[in-house]
Structure 1
């Protein structure tokens, strides 16, 4: 069986790998593909619905393969998705952006099902590929799937944030989990002129953007963002949301305007560069939605409620001193005043002091642009 992968053959260099290594061979018997119409992950059991299972395996949809770090049991969905298979289209796009050639040494951070490692090993050679996975059970399952496919890249159980030093230096690092910071260990393990392809974002919203960083000889790195993506965060980079006690006073009730934005709109990703140390979530209602903003230090929260039946305004309620809604509106005006730039006009610089996002050029950091 071959995988009908939308967009997978767009890069001819990878077409043979996609044809030879089907995604279905790396998926568990019980899995949770994403239903776009219902916006939900529904279980599919190969034994009970083999045709439905195979259709989902070959579809261009993400599939959850683990819930709750493996503590979940049964076919019902768990509380938190903790391992998955990305859409074939995204896998193909990331491999094309990686720009890896046979003979190059590649480290993959986040083995998951093992499918991405299999594609890399098929094209680059299994001795050129090292993949690291923090979950021993996930790693063992991936290793078995790789062996069934006749491929034996090196599979390491460990914290991907530390890299795999004894396998370097690498020409490329490809990351399949969301980052909140770029580990400095990776910069030391990539040869000068090599690159890191990773989803990077902030705690503000569950959206990242792929960044392609070129590593310099002085241990710094720099490069552009490519596209907005949605990845599960690296375990060490998960955001711990504060718990707010009941009965907080609600103040600052007023009206305002807030333009709607879709799931892949660039602004929620970009806003996190300006609204620091905060998280954002949207609660849907039958007649509108509420945008929740949380200060991650526990200093307060804001709820901005928009109801269709009450007109175009937004009612803002705030607990605590931090004016989060004002900060978000200021970020929106900053983005609009800059010409509503897409993600591709932004980039990231990394050095010993941390990460610095920029607009158009490294000498135009986001926190200084207007």
Structure 2
């Protein structure tokens, strides 16, 4: 190992330890501290050999192979900041990113992984999340990650190999799952979807758990059988790159014109607005939100019953329910 590599690895180790302490202080993995070991062991910088940081003049590219030692130092330190990192752009559009580590920690903890579980990750990204899962489970063969873009899956596979992990990386439409690798005990999505793909339920064992972003929230579903699942949203807000493919999310396009200024600043209200898009007009959603005591995310849930799926407030069979695609 050369002096450059030794210096970078030393900086990375110190920055990784600092990130773990920061997430630890935040209490993100309080429910399952075994994830602390995974974050301490898996080198995030190997999964982001370059990334983009937004600035006043557009995106700045940080690259680990830069000839400027100060630029390399900025790259490795930035790789361990508790922020999402843009990793793939096309015509100014964000196609892929490495999620905020503390959010990843909360999601992985909420996934409630147990030894021996078979896990499907939808949205391979850089491969970092799959590496954390493989480290936690101690068996690469239990982890499958899928992404539509062959460039993303190729780079994820390369990053994983460089870090010493070899889960199954599949190029395909995540909304269709990966039937040849089923059945799964856990499914985790790291991209935004407009609904719960029915194919996922069919590929789950009874009692499986699905964690997926939906309407700027995180939905945790318990699967009863191939036709039925139900669960509630976590309190955490979550913003992800939309899924591309058959189940892709449509642009938000919701106007807040005419609503009180306070409504525009309230994340829980914007969550309700997104969840009920196409069913409630913004003014109706705001009236409901105020009347019901400004509910936070955890009061909402989703039920999947065959071809029908709906979101609800407080109770699945209560008075407030809205159809999902």
Asked whether 1:229 is paired with 2:238, we answer yes
Contact 1:194 1:215 in 2 (8 A): yes
Q: Report the secondary structure of 2:262's partner residue.
A: coil
Q: Mark the CA change 1:362 to 1:238 in structure 2 (over 3 Å): closer, same or farther.
A: closer
Q: Report the secondary structure of 2:318's partner residue.
A: coil
Q: Distance in 2 between matches of 1:149 and 1:241?
A: 37
Q: Mark the CA change 1:51 to 1:365 in structure 2 (over 3 Å): closer, same or farther.
A: farther
1:2-21 superposed Cα distances (whole Å, 9 cap, x missing partner): 32243156441111111110
Q: Report the secondary structure of 2:88's partner residue.
A: strand
Counterpart pick for 2:300 among 335, 346, 350: 346
**Deviation, structure 1 residue 138:** 0.9
Asked whether 1:165 is paired with 2:119, we answer no
Asked whether 1:139 is paired with 2:153, we answer yes
Contact 1:273 1:367 in 2 (8 A): no
Q: Distance in 2 between matches of 1:162 and 1:347?
A: 23
Asked whether 1:32 is paired with 2:43, we answer no
Contact 1:109 1:132 in 2 (8 A): yes
Aligned residues: 290
Q: Mark the CA change 1:223 to 1:131 in structure 2 (over 3 Å): closer, same or farther.
A: same
Q: Distance in 2 between matches of 1:209 and 1:182?
A: 13
Counterpart pick for 2:42 among 10, 14, 21: 21
The within-5 A match list for 1:63-74 is 63-68=85-90
The within-5 A match list for 1:323-362 is 327-362=281-316
The within-5 A match list for 1:1-370 is 1-2=12-13, 3=16, 4-5=19-20, 6-7=22-23, 10=30, 11-29=32-50, 31-33=51-53, 41-46=59-64, 47=66, 48=68, 49-68=71-90, 78-124=91-137, 125-201=139-215, 208-217=216-225, 219-226=227-234, 227-236=236-245, 237-239=248-250, 257-262=260-265, 265-276=267-278, 327-364=281-318, 366-367=320-321
Q: Report the secondary structure of 1:152's partner residue.
A: coil
Contact 2:194 2:250 in 1 (8 A): no
**Deviation, structure 1 residue 256:** 6.6
Higher helix share: 2
Whichever of the two has the greater Rg, that structure is 1
Structure 2 gap segments, 5+ residues each: 1-11
Q: Report the secondary structure of 2:160's partner residue.
A: helix
Q: Report the secondary structure of 1:82's partner residue.
A: strand
The TM-score with structure 1 as length reference comes to 0.73
